[in-house]
C-alpha cells in the first residue's frame, strides 16, 4: 500500500482473506464456510458529534477491511439520533476522513435518520404489544428508581398505562405537544434485571432541535440502542462489529430484534477499543480541548484526530499499517505511542524525499570561497529509492548550519564544528572552522571557515577522514520558513489518571521556530507532501502556508522521542 490515493480494493478484486489473523475474521470465515451467510456486510457507525480519531480508524480498518477481504461490502452509517450534539461539519469531516484512509462505501451511505419513520412505526408496534410505555417521571426520578449494580430498580408509577393512553401520548409527543424532558418512551422489560440496560431503557426522548438532515420534521428522537440494531437489521448487516463497552447492550440489541418484525437478524461482536499511551481517545475530551482552546482546532496536528494526523503529514498508509500491527483482540490494552511513530518513520524512510533545512541558523562564511560564486551541487533525493533521482543544491560563500552543530569548547565526543575542527558539508566540501565571531553579549553569531576545493562533492581528496557530516543551506538562496515542532500533547503516558485531563496537557506541546532556512528546492513542496529534512526528521508543508510565508509541520523526528521521556 504505497499510494494513498489508490482506491480501496473493490469487492470484485478482494484482498486475500486473512482468516486465522484474529477472532473476528475467524468468525466470518466460519459463517461463510457453514453457509450462514453468502457474503459479509459490515458497517462503520459514527455519531457525527465530533471528528474521527485514531481509535475510530481501528474500527474503520476492521469493518471496511473484512468487507474487502471477504468480498463483501461495508456501509458508512451515521448514527445521527441526537441533533443537540450533531452537525453538518462533523458529517463532512467524517466522510473526508474515511475516504482519506482509503475506504469506499460505494452507494452505501446511510443514516439512522433515514429510518426515523420505520423506527417510529416499530415503537408503536412495541406499544401495541404492551412492551413499551410513556413515562412522565423526571430524569432525576428515573435515575433514582433505576437501582444499582447490586440493587434492583423500581417500577415507574406510569408503567401500567393502557396501550391506548400510551399510543395517544406517543403520537402527541411526535406532534410536539410536550416540552423537552417532560416524557419519554421506555421499553417495558424488567426493572429487576441484573443487566441495567434491560431495566426499562429509554427508547425515545423529546428534543426540540432541528436535525441536520430531517430539519424540523421530528421533535422526538430514538436513542442509540433503539436505532442501532434496527438500522443494522434494515441494512441486512451480517456482522455488527463494535467495541467492548457495548457488550452489556447486546441483550437489549437482541431483545429488539426478537420483539420487532425486522427484516434480518444481525449479530453483534465486540472487540477491544484502541488505547494509546500519551493520548486521549474520547470525543468528549477532544471536544473540550477544541472548545476551551487548548488546541487550535480539530485538525491541530497535536490532536489524535484523523484530520490532525493528516495535517501533521502522516500518510494514510502509515496509519493503516499501525492499525494492522495493533491487531484485533478482546483484551483491553494500551499501545505504546512510540509504535505509531515507528510506523510513520518506517514508511516515510522509504517514500519521503530528502532535503536540507536549518532550523536554528548560524551563519558560516567560507573565507577562501570566491565572492559571488555559486555552484550547483548534486544531492541524492532518497538513498532508499534510487528511482527518486537527484537534484541541484546551490553552494556559496555564505551558508547556514545548525547552531547546535557548533561548540566553542566541545566535550571529547563532540565531532562537529569547533575552532580548528574539520567537518564535511553534505554533498559539498570539507570545511574547517577558523574562528567564532561573537556579539557584545558574547553569543556566537558567525563562524569564519575555510574550505578544501579538492573535496568537491564531500569526497575526501587524500583519504583523510572527518567525523561529522553536517547539513547546511546557502544563505543567499534560503527560503525563510516557520517550522512547527509538535511534542506529545500530554506530559504523562496515562493522561487524566489523577482525574483531570486538562491538567496533564503538555505546555511544551507546540514549539514554533519562526525563522528556519530551507533549501530552495523546497519551494516546490506541495501541501501535505512528506519530506525529510536531513538529520532532523520528517516534515510537511502546512495548508496555512502562503507564497510569502512557508509553514512546515514536523510529522515525526528521526528517533524515538518517547524513549527520552521515560
Write the CA distances from 414 to 365, 370, 406, 409, 421, integer angstroms: 22, 30, 9, 9, 10
- DSSP-assigned letters across all residues of 526-559: PBT-EEEETTTEEEEE-TT--SS-EEEEEEEESS
Q: Counting contacts by CB under 6 A, is residue 222 touching ligand ATP? A: no
Segment 501-560, which members bind ligand ATP (CB under 6 A)?
A: none
Query: What's the min distance (Å) between Cβ of 56 and ligand ATP?
Result: 5
Residue in 25, 58, 77, 239 binding ligand ATP, rule: CB under 6 A: 58
- Contact, 203 vs 224, CB < 8 A? no
Q: Which is nearer to ligand ATP, 292 or 439 (CB)?
A: 292
Interacting span for ligand ATP (CB under 6 A) from 54-62, 125-133, 494-502, 548-556: 54-62
Which residue is it, cell 483491553?
332
Residue in 46, 83, 222, 488 binding ligand ATP, rule: CB under 6 A: 46
Q: Counting contacts by CB under 6 A, is residue 168 touching ligand ATP? A: no
- The answer to whether 245 is a known catalytic residue is no
- The answer to whether 345 is a known catalytic residue is no
**420/424 Cα distance (integer angstroms):** 13
- Cα torsion through 538, 544, 545, 549, rounded to 10: -120
Query: What's the min distance (Å) between Cβ of 52 and ligand ATP?
Result: 8
Interacting span for ligand ATP (CB under 6 A) from 56-64, 338-346, 381-389, 401-409: 56-64
Per-residue cell: 325: 500491527
**275/55 Cα distance (integer angstroms):** 7
Q: Counting contacts by CB under 6 A, is residue 283 touching ligand ATP? A: yes
In eight-state DSSP terms, residue 76 is: E
Catalytic residue among 159, 273, 434, 456: 273
Catalytic residue among 47, 124, 254, 398: 47
Q: Give the CB-nearest residue to ligand ATP.
A: 55
Residue in 47, 375, 384, 482 binding ligand ATP, rule: CB under 6 A: 47
DSSP element (H, E) containing 37: none
Say how many C-beta atoms besides its own lie within 10 A of residue 413's C-beta: 6
Sign of CA dihedral 521, 527, 532, 534: positive
Alpha helices by DSSP H, listed for 70-109, are 88-100
Interacting span for ligand ATP (CB under 6 A) from 40-48, 347-355, 469-477, 481-489: 40-48
E-state strands within 333-471: 353-355, 357-358, 361-366, 375-380, 390-395, 398-402, 422-425, 430-438, 444-451, 469-470
Which residue is it, cell 483484551?
331
**549/557 Cα distance (integer angstroms):** 23
Segment 284-313, which members bind ligand ATP (CB under 6 A)?
A: 284
Q: Counting contacts by CB under 6 A, is residue 45 touching ligand ATP? A: yes
Helix (H, G, I), strand (E, B) or coil at 383: coil
- The answer to whether 408 is a known catalytic residue is no
Segment 77-96, which members bind ligand ATP (CB under 6 A)?
A: 79
Query: What's the min distance (Å) between Cβ of 155 and ligand ATP?
Result: 31
Query: What's the min distance (Å) between Cβ of 55 and ligand ATP?
Result: 2
Q: Which is nearer to ligand ATP, 343 or 358 (CB)?
A: 343
Say how many C-beta atoms besides its own lie within 10 A of residue 487's C-beta: 18
Query: What's the min distance (Å) between Cβ of 243 and ligand ATP?
Result: 3
Segment 341-360, which members bind ligand ATP (CB under 6 A)?
A: none
Say how many C-beta atoms besides its own lie within 10 A of residue 523's C-beta: 12
Segment 263-282, which members bind ligand ATP (CB under 6 A)?
A: 273-274, 281-282
Q: Which is nearer to ligand ATP, 274 or 550 (CB)?
A: 274
- DSSP-assigned letters across all residues of 340-372: HHHHHHHHHHHHPEEE-EESSEEEEEETTSPTT
Query: What's the min distance (Å) between Cβ of 491 and ligand ATP?
Result: 21
Catalytic residue among 283, 397, 421, 554: 283
Q: Counting contacts by CB under 6 A, is residue 243 touching ligand ATP? A: yes
Interacting span for ligand ATP (CB under 6 A) from 45-53, 64-72, 106-114, 307-315: 45-53
Query: What's the min distance (Å) between Cβ of 130 and ligand ATP?
Result: 31
Q: Which residues are catalytic?
A: 47, 273, 283
Q: Which spans of this chain sit near ligand ATP (rule: CB under 6 A)?
A: 45-47, 55-56, 58-59, 79, 242-243, 273-274, 281-284
Amino acid at each position: 500500500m504505497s499510494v494513498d490515493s489508490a482506491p480501496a480494493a473493490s469487492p470484485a478484486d478482494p484482498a486475500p482473506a486473512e482468516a486465522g489473523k484474529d477472532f473476528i475474521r475467524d468468525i466470518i470465515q466460519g459463517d461463510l464456510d457453514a453457509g450462514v451467510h453468502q457474503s459479509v456486510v459490515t458497517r462503520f457507525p459514527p455519531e457525527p458529534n465530533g471528528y474521527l480519531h485514531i481509535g475510530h480508524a481501528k474500527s474503520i480498518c476492521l469493518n471496511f477491511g473484512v468487507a474487502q477481504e471477504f468480498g463483501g461490502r461495508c456501509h458508512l452509517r451515521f448514527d445521527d439520533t441526537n441533533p443537540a450534539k450533531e452537525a453538518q461539519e462533523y458529517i463532512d469531516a467524517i466522510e473526508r476522513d474515511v475516504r482519506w484512509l482509503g475506504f469506499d462505501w460505494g452507494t452505501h451511505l446511510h443514516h439512522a435518520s433515514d429510518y426515523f419513520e420505520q423506527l417510529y412505526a416499530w415503537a408503536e408496534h412495541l406499544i401495541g404489544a404492551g412492551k413499551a410505555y410513556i413515562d412522565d417521571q423526571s430524569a432525576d426520578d428515573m435515575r433514582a428508581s433505576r437501582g444499582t449494580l447490586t440493587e434492583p430498580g423500581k417500577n415507574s408509577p406510569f408503567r401500567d398505562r393502557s396501550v391506548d393512553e400510551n399510543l395517544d401520548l406517543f403520537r402527541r409527543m411526535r406532534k410536539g405537544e410536550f416540552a423537552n424532558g417532560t416524557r419519554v418512551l421506555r421499553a417495558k422489560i424488567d426493572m429487576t434485571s441484573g443487566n441495567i440496560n434491560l431495566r426499562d431503557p429509554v427508547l425515545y426522548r423529546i428534543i426540540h432541535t432541528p436535525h441536520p438532515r430531517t430539519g424540523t420534521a421530528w421533535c422526538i428522537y430514538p436513542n442509540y440502542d433503539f436505532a442501532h440494531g434496527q438500522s443494522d437489521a434494515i441494512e441486512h448487516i451480517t456482522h455488527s462489529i463494535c467495541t467492548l463497552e457495548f457488550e452489556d447492550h447486546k441483550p437489549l440489541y437482541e431483545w429488539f430484534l426478537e420483539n420487532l418484525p425486522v427484516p434480518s437478524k444481525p449479530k453483534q461482536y465486540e472487540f477491544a477499543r484502541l488505547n494509546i499511551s500519551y493520548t486521549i481517545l474520547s470525543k468528549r475530551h477532544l471536544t473540550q480541548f477544541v472548545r476551551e482552546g487548548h488546541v487550535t482546532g480539530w485538525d491541530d496536528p497535536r490532536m489524535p484526530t484523523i484530520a490532525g494526523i493528516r495535517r501533521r503529514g502522516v500518510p494514510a498508509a502509515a496509519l493503516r499499517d499501525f492499525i494492522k500491527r495493533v491487531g484485533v483482540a478482546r483484551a483491553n490494552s494500551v499501545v505504546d505511542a512510540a509504535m505509531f511513530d515507528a510506523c510513520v518513520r518506517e514508511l516515510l524512510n522509504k517514500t519521503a524525499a530528502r532535503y536540507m533545512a536549518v532550523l536554528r541558523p548560524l551563519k558560516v562564511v567560507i573565507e577562501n570561497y570566491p565572492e559571488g560564486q555559486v555552484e550547483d551541487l548534486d544531492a541524492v533525493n532518497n538513498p532508499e529509492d534510487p528511482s527518486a533521482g537527484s537534484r541541484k543544491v546551490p553552494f556559496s560563500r555564505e551558508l547556514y548550519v545548525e547552531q547546535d552543530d557548533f561548540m566553542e569548547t566541545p566535550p571529547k565526543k563532540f565531532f562537529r564544528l569547533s575552532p580548528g575542527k574539520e567537518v564535511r558539508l553534505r554533498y559539498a566540501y570539507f570545511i574547517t572552522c577558523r574562528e567564532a565571531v561573537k556579539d557584545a553579549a558574547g553569543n556566537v553569531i558567525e563562524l569564519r571557515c575555510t574550505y578544501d576545493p579538492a573535496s568537491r562533492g564531500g569526497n575526501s581528496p587524500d583519504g583523510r577522514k572527518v567525523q561529522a557530516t553536517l547539513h547546511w543551506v546557502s544563505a543567499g538562496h534560503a527560503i525563510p520558513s516557520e517550522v512547527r515542532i509538535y511534542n506529545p500533547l500530554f506530559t504523562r503516558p496515562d493522561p487524566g489518571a489523577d482525574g483531570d485531563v486538562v491538567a496533564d496537557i503538555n505546555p511544551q506541546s507546540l514549539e514554533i521556530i519562526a525563522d528556519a532556512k530551507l533549501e530552495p528546492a523546497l519551494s516546490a513542496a506541495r501541501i501535505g507532501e512528506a519530506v525529510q529534512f536531513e538529520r532532523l526528521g520528517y516534515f510537511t508543508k502546512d495548508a496555512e502556508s502562503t507564497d510569502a510565508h512557508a509553514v512546515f509541520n514536523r510529522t515525526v523526528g528521526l528517533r524515538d522521542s518517547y524513549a527520552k521521556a521515560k
